[in-house]
Amino acid sequence: MLQIMLTLTAFMVLVIPMGHYLYHIAVGQKTFADPVFDPVDRLIYKLCGLKGEDMGWKKYGLSLLMANAVMVLIGYAVLRLQGILFFNPNGIGAMEESLSFNTIISFMTNTNLQHYSGESGLSYLSQMLVITFMMFVSAASGYAACVAFIRGLAGKSKNNVGNFYSDLVRIITRVLLPFSIIGGLLLVWQGVPQNFSGNVIVDTIEGAKQIIAQGPVAALEIIKHLGTNGGGFIGANSATPIENPTILTNLIELYSMMLLPGACVITFGKMVRDRKCEAQAGSTAFTVRSGVDSRSFTARFFGREGRTIFAAMSILFVIGLGVCFWAESQGNPALAEAGLSQSMGSMEGKEVRFGIAQSAMFTTTTTSFTTGTVNNMHDTLTPLGGMIPLLHMMLNVVFGGKGVGLMNMIIYAILAVFICGLMIGRTPEYLGKKIEGREMKLTALCIIIHPFLILAFSALAVGTQAGLEGITNPGFHGLSQVLYEFSSSAANNGSGFADNTMFWNITTGLAMFFGRYLSIVIQLAIAGSFMKKKFVNDSVGSLHTDTATFPIILVVVVYIFAALTFFPVLALGPIAEHLTLWA
């Protein structure tokens, strides 16, 4: 428990300056890094012919979709031709058609679901040009959409949410690339390989042959966490010493995947606060309670609205972490009955060097921040311990990755304001603007998409022979496996358990595609609708969303609408398995 508390404390120390740095980038303010990165940005704009013109939400969303589509086509071609291309010292052949489709959709949607083992399925060119490159671009696309979404909510303009290409470039050059260089060098220092050598075959002490993977591992490893991607260079991911050799690399990877999603919440709070202050100074039609931000430490660093969202996410995260840590600490009663000591907890599928605490922390973090990387095998978690990562992917609002968690949580905040306003007779307003029929229709549609994708594809899997053939676990755990696979796909997480078959490649590919792009387009539409609204007076009839009670309301709404939606299938999966195991 002390390990976990110290880890979370260090995260809080790191996320505040990172949030302020990301805020300066989002609003175009000067940073200490401008002398270095401004020339790089200008060169990229010149080479690509970018003008930096303003975009409405429709043009912004279309630019994101088209840019991603072009990269999908190029990446698919590389995967199909990797057998005859260069940087292939291990002689790996072309990737099969359905697997290529699944892989390219997976990495372009920032899911990184892997139905292959990287060390035996990809050449070094594919690892760099497709996997590592798309880890940068897909993460930057998500963060760009998040920044545009915040601009729309802040409402500084009627039809300008920024320029997608400018946001994409600035996020890569000023955040992802420099932090990846620093983090990658730290991983190399700790023993993570970074070379172009072929795999090494060695003799073990038992007389068998073992293949030790080589290649540009560290470069992929750092961006897979920093961009909340998750796809490993090696099939076993960060559970292997090649990708994650020491407790220090474990912490570097842990903080890397937590840092930017948490920083996005701070950026949101500061951008919304700026707009409130401008509205207060420039118009008598909009008032805001003044003087509070300067007296409150949390409001000053997070912004009042950002503090609310961060608090709600933290409550959900800590509850999930506590349950996962407790469940794994209890051990496995079946093994205890067989005479095996469970004093260390359930160590099946875990690395001894990390133990229960860091394994539970990593498990909860990677599925809360939608990264998908693993330092232990999630398929071997206890039923309740495994239910937490499954539930957090189903919620898809517990910080989330690449800004997605923030966008989804704001959707629930809009829903919470609307419901509470109707219940107590208050005006449904959010961020100083009325919530009306159009916003609620879009909000309802956005909330429905995620459970629909998970439950519809899961029903298809358990109702068809092709789906059943991919289930490798019996009984209740088999259903949990199906739910986990499609929850991971729809939430763009990536830590799934399915096989490389035509059915699973196609269905998870579709779940990843629709789970990513439908939500982004709808959320940008909501932001565009908010931009056109006028600010309204802050009156006694307004429901304030920056109070100490609203995070509790938000958590309750999330659990009621999201968790209870999935309760029947959770009862048939991990809950039933737990009751059976402990009967």
- Predicted confidence at residue 342, as pLDDT, reads 87
Say which amino acid occupies 238: S
Query: Which has the higher per-residue pLDDT, 179 or 495?
Result: 179
Quick: pLDDT tens for 426-467: 778 898 888 988 999 999 999 999 999 999 999 999 999 999
Average pLDDT over residues 284-304: 57
When pLDDT is cut at 50, 70 and 90, the band that residue 356 belongs to is very high
**Looking at the predicted structure, is the pLDDT value of residue 276 above 70?**
no
SS3 480: helix
pLDDT in tens, 517-573: 999 999 999 999 998 888 887 766 677 888 889 999 999 999 998 888 999 999 999
| Burial of 549: CB neighbours in 10 Å, binned 0-12, 13-18, 19+ | exposed
* CA end-to-end span of the chain: 28
Query: Among candidates 244, 309, 321, 198, which has minimal Cα distance to 557?
Result: 309
d(CA 362, CA 187): 17
How confident is residue 411, by pLDDT bands cut at 50, 70 and 90? very high
Confidence of residue 282 (pLDDT cuts 50, 70, 90): low
C-alpha to C-alpha distance for 163 and 405, rounded to whole angstroms: 22
The number of residues in the chain equals: 583
pLDDT at 543: 79
CA dist 100 and 103 (Å) reads: 5
Q: Is the pLDDT of residue 60 over 50?
A: yes
- 340 torsion bin: left (phi>0), alpha (psi -120 to 50), beta (else): beta
pTM exceeds 0.85? yes
Which stretch of 388-392, 407-411, 421-425 has the lowest confidence by average pLDDT? 421-425
Query: Can you give the pLDDT at residue 294?
Result: 44
Q: Is the pLDDT of residue 293 over 90?
A: no
**76-85, 144-153, 231-240, 373-382, range with the lowest pLDDT:** 231-240
Q: What is the pLDDT of residue 274?
A: 60
Q: Which of 150-159, 176-185, 236-245 has the lowest mean pLDDT?
A: 150-159
Q: Is the pLDDT reported for residue 284 higher than 60?
A: no
Mean pLDDT of the region 346-365 = 93
Residue 125 CA, chain-centre distance (Å), reads 26
pLDDT of residue 287 exceeding 90: no
- What does the pLDDT read at residue 245? 94
Q: What is the model's pLDDT at position 155?
A: 79
What pLDDT was estimated at residue 485? 94
pLDDT at res. 184: 95
- Look at residue 37 and tell me whether its pLDDT is greater than 50: yes
Q: Which two tokens stand for residue 350?
A: 């875990």
Q: Decide which of 289 and 13 is more confident.
A: 13
HSE-CB of 453 using CA atoms within 13 angstroms = 30
Grade residue 266 by pLDDT with cuts at 50, 70 and 90.
Answer: very high
In percent, the amount of the chain with pLDDT more than 90 equals: 66
Which residues does residue 434 pair with via DSSP β-bridges, in sequence order? 429
pLDDT at 286: 44
- For the cut 90, the answer to whether the pLDDT of residue 288 exceeds it is no
Distances (CA, A) of 33 to 21, 25, 30, 36, 577: 10, 10, 8, 6, 52
pLDDT for the residue numbered 290 = 40
**Summary mean pLDDT of the chain:** 89
Q: What is the separation of C-alpha 481 from the centre of its chain, rounded to a whole number of angstroms?
A: 20
CB 153 within 8 Å of CB 274: no
Residue 209, pLDDT above cutoff 80: yes
Phi first, then psi: what are they for 434, rounded to 5°? -70, 145
